């Protein structure tokens, strides 16, 4: 892991502690890709992290100490790898994934951006259809509405009180992070399917479009080839 990505991830451990301390988000663990974890042990450690000074290093270590799989074996490396792939990419700390998603989604929903992806018409239509499908989170939005309609556990109410949150006002924020993670994970799965289905030339066209975005926004980074970014090179 690069020093830049390590620094980005370090800034996010307090956020993760706040989210994973809540019973309310537990039903979303599966879609977030956290089925390998013992959720109860992680939640207990997250609550412990919130009891002390909210410093990234302390929050990180407290959370990692609570990472066990369902057989009871410690799995801090698996959780940290998940955080690196799913959490920091979701919240724009990873410009490569963020730029690629931006260029594909904008191309799908804004006709004036079609020049960003220079593919043959039939292939571009296939891409846009797939992007719109994966960007549809109707199922997750419905799940969130159901979860919001349920009363919070006593432990969640206590956590909110300790953090100075009003559960009735801030409840949407409980789910904003999980929804963001799920959205990016689905997009990453789409990109991996494109690596299998599209030619190297077409994938390079997608990379060029994303590179145009980061250059336009003056982000000093060079995108890797799409298969490499997707971990399939």
| pLDDT per position as a tens digit, 105-147 | 877 766 555 566 778 888 888 988 999 999 999 999 999 999 8
pLDDT of residue 142: 95
Encoded tokens for 155:
């432990």
* DSSP secondary structure code for residue 223 in this structure: P
Domain span including residue 63: 3-229
Number of domains in the chain: 1
At 184-194, the pLDDT tens digits run 899 999 999 99
Cβ(178)–Cβ(28) below 8 Å: yes
Q: Express each pLDDT in 28-78 by its tens digit.
A: 999 999 999 999 999 999 988 888 777 778 888 889 999 999 899 999 999
Query: In sequence order, what are the residues at sequence separation of 6 or more whose Cβ sits closer than 8 angstroms to the Cβ of residue 176?
Result: none
Residues 2, 120: Cα–Cα separation, whole Å: 36
121 CB-near residues (< 8 Å, 6+ apart): none
Lookup result for tokens 């890709």: 33
User: Which residue in 184, 173, 7 sits closest to 82, CA to CA?
Assistant: 184
Are the C-beta atoms of residues 124 and 148 closer than 8 Å to each other?
no
The answer on pLDDT for 91 being more than 80 is: no
The pLDDT, as a whole number, for residue 113 is 57
The position carrying tokens 């571009």 is: 124
> Please, are residues 17 and 46 in contact by the beta-carbon 8 Å criterion?
yes
pTM of the model: 0.85
Report d(CA 223, CA 96) in Å as an integer. 6
Report pLDDT for 58. 83
């Amino acid at each position: 892991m690069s020093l830049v990505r390590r620094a980005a991830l370090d800034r996010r451990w307090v956020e993760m502690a706040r989210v994973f301390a809540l019973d309310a988000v537990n039903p979303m663990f599966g879609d977030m890709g956290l089925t390998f974890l013992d959720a109860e042990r992680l939640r207990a450690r997250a609550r412990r992290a919130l009891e002390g000074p909210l410093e990234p290093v302390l929050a990180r270590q407290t959370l990692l100490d609570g990472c066990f799989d369902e057989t009871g074996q410690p799995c801090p490396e698996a959780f940290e790898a998940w955080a690196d792939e799913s959490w920091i990419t979701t919240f724009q700390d990873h410009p490569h994934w963020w730029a690629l998603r931006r260029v594909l989604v904008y191309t799908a929903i804004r006709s004036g951006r079609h020049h960003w992806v220079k593919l043959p018409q039939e292939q571009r239509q296939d891409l846009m259809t797939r992007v719109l499908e994966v960007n549809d989170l109707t199922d997750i939005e419905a799940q969130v509405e159901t979860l919001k309609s349920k009363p919070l556990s006593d432990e969640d109410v206590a956590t909110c009180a300790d953090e100075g949150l009003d559960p009735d006002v801030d409840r949407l924020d409980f789910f904003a992070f999980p929804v963001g993670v799920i959205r990016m994970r689905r997009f990453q799965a789409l990109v991996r399917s494109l690596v299998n289905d599209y030619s190297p030339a077409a994938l390079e066209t997608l990379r060029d479009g994303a590179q145009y975005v980061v250059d336009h926004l003056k982000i000093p980074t060079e995108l890797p080839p799409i298969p490499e970014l997707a971990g399939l090179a």
